[in-house]
Chains A and B, each alone.
Chain A
C-alpha cells in the first residue's frame, strides 16, 4: 500500500458520510411531510456521492483490487472508523435533525480546511462537498430553530435530542495517529483547531433556538478507534446484507 496513513485517513472522513447517509436513507418515505422526505433524501444522496469519491480514491491508494463497494460493505465492525455521533438512530425527527446539525457544523468547518490540503484529490472532493455541506447546515439549523422555538412539545423534544447527542460531539475533535501523520504532511486537517469555533457556532444557533447548551462534560469516544455503540452492528447488517449473503458477485 502506497500510504497506510492516507488510506486510513480517507476512511476516517468517508465513513462518517457513509453511516450518516445510511441513517438518512432509512427515513425515506417515513418523514413528517413529502417536502421533508425529499429534502432528507437529497442530503442522503449528497453524502453518498461524497462517499463514492472518497472510497474510489481509497481503493486506488490501497491498490489491492478492492472496489469502492468492498471498502464500503466488506469490513468488520471494528474496522469502521466513523464517529459515534453519526451512527445514532432516528429516534424521532428531533434526533434526526439534531444529529444532522451537530455533524453539519463540524463537517463544513472540516471541509473548508480540507480544501487547503496539498493532496489534490482530497482538496477537489472538499471543494465540491463544501457547497453541499453548506446547504445541509442551513437546512438543519433552520430545523433546530423551528423545533427549538416552535411549540412546547417540540422544544422539549429538541432539547432532549441535543442533550442526548451532546456526549458524542467531543469525539469530532480527537486526533488519531493517521490524522497526526497527515497533518504533518500537509494533507490532513488539524481537527483540534476546529473545536472552539464549532462550539461557538453551535452555541449561537442553539441559543437562537431558545435551547440550552448542555453543561455535561462527560463525553463518549471510540468510534475513530472502531469501538462503536451497539447501534452500528444493526446498521451494518443491513448495509452489508447483500455483499455478505452473495459474495463475489456483481450487481
Chain B
C-alpha cells in the first residue's frame, strides 16, 4: 500500500470512531491502534491477575465464614476479569502465553497499587472500597470504548464488579462501628491506602503522555486529573459517613469550584513503585512466575492427554 492509501484508510478509520462506530478484530486498523490496545488491555489484564495476590493473602485468615466466601468470590472474579481481558487481547493476534512472557520478564506493566502489602484485615476493606472504587471510575467509561472486544469485556467486568466495592466498604463500616481497636485498624488502612489510590488514577495531565491519542480512540474519556477529582469528591463523604478521617490536612471543600481541594501527591513514591522498587514488586512477580513455572508440567500433561485421546478416537474411527 502506498503512503497515501494508508493515510486515506487512517482518515476513514478515525472518522468511523468519531461517528461512534465500533472497531472489530478483523477490521483494518492502524498499527498504532493495535499496539496501543494490546498494551492497555494486557496491562489491565495483568493488573487483575497480579491484583489477586494481595487479597489472596487473607483468604485463609478471613475473620468469618461470610467474609471468607465474599473475598474468595471477589478474587475469583478478578481471575475471570483477567481472563476476559486476555481474550480480548488475543483477538488482536497476540497469545496469552506471549502476554505472560511480557509480564514475567518485566516488560509489561500492571497497576502499581498491587505492589503495596496487605498487612491487616482492614486492608481488604480499604482495597475494595478505595482501589476498586478508583478502578470503577476508570472502567465504566471503557464500556463504551471504540474497540468492540474490549468494550464487551468491560461491560462484563463492570457488571460483575458492582459488588466488589460494596464488599470492601461494608468491611470498613463494620470496623468503623466496632471496638476502638477495630476502628483504629480501619483508620490505619485508610491512611496507608489513600495516597496510593489517588496515584492509581495516573500521573497529572501535564506529564501524562498518552492522553490525547487515547481520548480520540475512546480508550480514555476523561483526563487523569478529572478522574482523580471525581474519585476524591465521591469518596470523602463516604469516609465521613462512617467516621473515618482522610489523611490529608490540606483537604477542604471548595465552594467555588464545587469540589474538594487536596494536598500534594508524592510523585517520587509513585515513580519509585512504577519503576519496580515498591514494597512488594519482587514478591508479586515471584509469585506469578513460580505459579506459571510450577504449572508448566500440568499444562503440558493436559495437552498431551488431549492429543492422545484424539489419536485414540481417530484410530477407533478407522
On whether A38 and B76 interact (CB within 8 A), knowing A68-B65, A93-B298, the answer reads yes
On whether A41 and B295 interact (CB within 8 A), knowing A150-B302, A239-B61, the answer reads no
On whether A246 and B174 interact (CB within 8 A), knowing A38-B80, A55-B65, A251-B64, the answer reads no
Interface string of A212-226 (1 = CB under 8 A from B): 000000000000000
Answer yes or no: A203 CB below 8 A from chain B CBs.
Answer: no
What's the Cα separation between A126 and B47 when bound, in Å? 39
What's the Cα separation between A242 and B56 when bound, in Å? 16
- Asked whether A154 lies within 8 Å of B64 as measured between CB atoms, the reply is no
Please give the number of chain B residues whose Cβ is less than 8 angstroms from any Cβ of chain A in the complex. 50
Contact of A32 among B69, B73, B299 (CB under 8 A): B299
A110-159 interface with B by 8 A CB criterion: 145-147, 149-151, 153-154, 157
A32, A45, A73, A246 — most chain B CB neighbours (10 Å): A32
Beta-carbon nearest neighbor of A156 in chain B: B297
A28-49 interface with B by 8 A CB criterion: 28-38, 41-42, 44-45, 48-49
Beta-carbon nearest neighbor of B81 in chain A: A34
Contact of A154 among B53, B67, B291, B298 (CB under 8 A): B298
Interface string of B51-81 (1 = CB under 8 A from A): 0110010011111111111001101100110
- Asked whether A42 lies within 8 Å of B301 as measured between CB atoms, the reply is no
On whether A147 and B298 interact (CB within 8 A), knowing A29-B52, A239-B60, the answer reads yes
A251 CB contacts on chain B under 8 angstroms: 63-64, 67, 121, 171, 174-175, 178
B171, B302, B306, B308 — most chain A CB neighbours (10 Å): B302
- Asked whether A34 lies within 8 Å of B76 as measured between CB atoms, the reply is no
Give the interface size class of chain A.
35 or more
A47 to chain B, nearest CB (A): 10
B181 CB contacts on chain A under 8 angstroms: 246, 249
Contact of B79 among A41, A44, A93, A150 (CB under 8 A): A41
Answer yes or no: B304 CB below 8 A from chain A CBs.
Answer: yes
Answer yes or no: B179 CB below 8 A from chain A CBs.
Answer: yes
A242 CB contacts on chain B under 8 angstroms: 61-63, 121
What's the Cα separation between A33 and B97 when bound, in Å? 10
- Asked whether A48 lies within 8 Å of B65 as measured between CB atoms, the reply is yes
Answer yes or no: B83 CB below 8 A from chain A CBs.
Answer: yes
What's the Cα separation between A36 and B302 when bound, in Å? 12
Answer yes or no: B262 CB below 8 A from chain A CBs.
Answer: no
Contacts A34-B82, A154-B297 known; list 6 others, CB within 8 Å.
A26-B60, A48-B65, A146-B306, A249-B179, A250-B174, A251-B63
12 A-B interface contacts by CB (under 8 A): A30-B290, A34-B79, A48-B68, A93-B298, A146-B301, A151-B300, A151-B304, A153-B301, A239-B61, A242-B62, A249-B63, A251-B171
